[in-house]
Chains A and B, each alone.
Chain A
Amino acid sequence: MTGATIIEKLLTRASDKDTVEPGDIVVAPVDVAVLLDTQFFGPSWEGLRRVHDPERLAIVLDHAVPAPGVREAAAGTRARKFAQRFGVRRFLDIGRHGIVHQVIAERGWAVPGQVLACSDSHTCAAGAFNVAARGLGAAEMMQIVSTGSTWYQVPPTIRYDLEGRLAADVTGKDVFLHIAGAYGDALNHALEIGGPGLADLSISDRHTIAAQGAELGADFTVFPADERCLKYLAERTTAEPSPVSEDAAARYAVRRTVDLDVVEPMLARPGAVIDNTVPVRGVGQVRLDQCFIGSCANGKIADLEIAARILAGRTVAAGTRLIITPASQATYLEASRRGYLSTFVEAGAVVTNPTCGACFGYHLGVVGPGEVCLTASTRNFRGRMGSPDAEIYMASPATAAASAIAGRIIDPRELA
């Protein structure tokens, strides 16, 4: 008897088939489609004649907000007109906004069993909630908004079984960097993360790992919907979850175990994460011009909490900048209530408005030629955060905060 993996089950159900195999092409209705400000940079959406179902649609302004220039301001105007014209109720304009993957999580827009579509490559983040979610590009979003469905190729699945429990100051980011360094890419595969260690892994850590599947080239990153997941969602939505689990006889391309007990603070060296990560403690002297904590992967309240704990009563080193971008207005507000924003500013950090901003080198923290940056965000490609002549290292918020204080890359446990 053969069995199915989580993504195979999600795509089987969505496409109304009896069974699917890796390599099959299926056509599936999309339950939730989310548009971004970047889609409205050009005028082409103005020509859309109809929308398949405005109740399945949401619009979130996140990449370049508030508008740093006229082009982005015009995009905002187009998005507002579009939302009004087609009666899109879930429209998060500037002031109610956040990075799309964060607002999907915190508002319970992704419910186990669903198919979710968004242009952005980190859409796989919603897989933390047992959802078939992947980045599709803006052109394909126009098709989904018009017709309500799209096609998927069923990917083979790579399974990670987590065991044990993470140590203090070690987070989901370190798990991802560990996997990227130890096992390399997952190009055109689904990642499935489960195992006995999952129960102790926070939703925040799961969401970070799911988002970062994109850096390994994974189509989807999916988690089972355990009690912790269902409880998190029940606090946010009344939508009924229809979780799927992997079969005992599920067939995997590869199955590996990760012992969380031994994962330590990890660092990606500049240029890539795949086959390019090392433990922070062995890195040696790397002086830093800028540290950044933010993005869909690392701008969550749990990330800000750990940064605030490390920064409390300390100051950012002279010659180093620390920029912190909460992932959403809700995160920003919660950080304010908890006093984190004061802690950050007292330490000499800059806190920006929620946006994708510095993560993709667009605004609010672009790096210059010859600079060295340590980022707790999503990518460290050459040129990603600005100048192609800057070096971008990547690590967890704990490592970024500790390193900002030291002015060089350090293991956060050195400060304890």
Chain B
Amino acid sequence: MTAEAKLHLRGRVWLFGDAVNTDEMYPGFAMRLPVHEAAQHMFDATRPDWPALVRAGDIMVGGRRFGLGSARPVPLLLRELGVCCVLAEEFSSLFLRNCINHGLPALAMPGVRAAFDEGNVAEVDVIAARVRNASTGHELVGKPYPPLVLELLRHGGVEARLRSHGYLA
């Protein structure tokens, strides 16, 4: 897969509400577990069946204040489950940075929550910050990332970028 392909995505949508927090996504006790096991405990308190239902290439769509809370590496669990992109009305900036730094595209897109029903297919152009509901034809446009963030995403996150620049073995 070319680098550019990672920034043009298409996947089935899972809908979440407002104020989805980090502890809900990554329970404290799960931090004791290896990533592949911890991923099975995502949303233990609120949506425990979800880790078994989500498939590679799926997209999360959330509401306001998405990712409020701690710095724990939630994107590692999302990637483990195959989630390829997170869209939300707004993100906690720490959660957003974590996603970018782990190479998981996350786009703030006002109106996105109402634009999708669960199971719709979303098409996402991360570079242009465009989202289209392929099931309804509805289109949304957000604010594109600055070049330095796009560069991080093209590399697949911080570790991959450091590796390609010789900082990391």
Q: Does A333 contact B (CB under 8 A)?
A: no
Say yes or no: A142 contacts B159, CB within 8 Å.
Answer: yes
Partner of A49, one of B23, B69, B168: B168
Bound CA span A97–B159, Å: 28
Closest A residue to B108 using CB positions: A188
Closest A residue to B146 using CB positions: A25
Q: Shortest CB–CB separation between residue B79 and chain A, in angstroms?
A: 12
**A56 — which chain B residues lie within 8 A by C-beta?**
none
Q: Does A407 contact B (CB under 8 A)?
A: no
Partner of B98, one of A71, A137, A153, A274: A137
- Please judge, given known A-B contacts A47-B169, A49-B169, A383-B23, whether A136 and B71 are in contact too, CB under 8 Å: yes
Query: Which B95-110 residues have a C-beta within 8 angstroms of A?
Result: 97-98, 101-102
**B32 — which chain A residues lie within 8 A by C-beta?**
69, 71, 362
Say yes or no: B94 contacts A137, CB within 8 Å.
Answer: yes
Residue tally, chain B, CB below 8 Å to A: 39
Say yes or no: A362 contacts B71, CB within 8 Å.
Answer: no
- Please judge, given known A-B contacts A140-B158, A386-B29, whether A188 and B93 are in contact too, CB under 8 Å: yes
Say yes or no: B29 contacts A362, CB within 8 Å.
Answer: yes
Partner of B69, one of A38, A121, A136, A143: A121
Q: Does B40 contact A (CB under 8 A)?
A: no
**A136 — which chain B residues lie within 8 A by C-beta?**
71, 94, 97
**B29 — which chain A residues lie within 8 A by C-beta?**
361-362, 366, 386
Say yes or no: B65 contacts A139, CB within 8 Å.
Answer: no
**B24 — which chain A residues lie within 8 A by C-beta?**
381-383
Q: Does A241 contact B (CB under 8 A)?
A: no
Say yes or no: B101 contacts A217, CB within 8 Å.
Answer: no
Bound CA span A274–B70, Å: 15
Q: Does A360 contact B (CB under 8 A)?
A: yes
- Please judge, given known A-B contacts A142-B162, A146-B167, A381-B21, whether A388 and B148 are in contact too, CB under 8 Å: no
Bound CA span A381–B29, Å: 14
**A120 — which chain B residues lie within 8 A by C-beta?**
70-71
- Please judge, given known A-B contacts A121-B69, A136-B71, A139-B73, whether A360 and B28 are in contact too, CB under 8 Å: yes
Closest A residue to B163 using CB positions: A47
Q: Shortest CB–CB separation between residue A3 and chain B, in angstroms?
A: 24
What 1/0 flags go to B135-155 for Cβ under 8 Å of A?
A: 000000000001011000000
Q: Shortest CB–CB separation between residue B165 and chain A, in angstroms?
A: 8
Partner of B94, one of A44, A135, A360, A379: A135
Say yes or no: B23 contacts A384, CB within 8 Å.
Answer: yes
**B168 — which chain A residues lie within 8 A by C-beta?**
44, 47-49, 142, 146
Query: Which B68-101 residues have a C-beta within 8 angstroms of A?
Result: 68-73, 90, 92-94, 97-98, 101
**A350 — which chain B residues lie within 8 A by C-beta?**
none
**B46 — which chain A residues lie within 8 A by C-beta?**
382, 388
Q: Does B53 contact A (CB under 8 A)?
A: no
Bound CA span A379–B98, Å: 20
**A78 — which chain B residues lie within 8 A by C-beta?**
none
**B149 — which chain A residues lie within 8 A by C-beta?**
151
**B158 — which chain A residues lie within 8 A by C-beta?**
139-140, 142-143
- Please judge, given known A-B contacts A137-B101, A362-B31, whether A219 and B167 are in contact too, CB under 8 Å: no
Query: Which B13-61 residues have a C-beta within 8 angstroms of A?
Result: 19, 21, 23-24, 27-29, 31-32, 44-46
Using CB atoms and an 8 Å cutoff, list the residues of chain B in contact with chain A. Answer: 19, 21, 23-24, 27-29, 31-32, 44-46, 65, 68-73, 90, 92-94, 97-98, 101-102, 146, 148-149, 157-159, 161-162, 166-169
Known: A135-B94, A139-B157. 11 other contacts (CB 8 A): A25-B148, A49-B169, A71-B32, A137-B94, A140-B101, A142-B162, A142-B168, A185-B65, A366-B29, A388-B27, A388-B44
| Sampled A-B contacts (14; CB under 8 Å) | A41-B31, A119-B71, A120-B71, A137-B94, A142-B162, A146-B162, A274-B19, A360-B28, A366-B29, A379-B23, A379-B69, A382-B24, A383-B23, A384-B28
Using CB atoms and an 8 Å cutoff, list the residues of chain A in contact with chain B. Answer: 25, 27, 38, 41, 44, 47-50, 69, 71, 119-121, 134-140, 142-143, 146-147, 151, 153, 155, 185, 187-188, 214-215, 217, 219, 272, 274, 360-362, 366, 379, 381-386, 388
Give the 6 A-B CB pairs with smallest separation, nearest first.
A388-B45, A361-B28, A139-B101, A47-B169, A146-B167, A137-B98
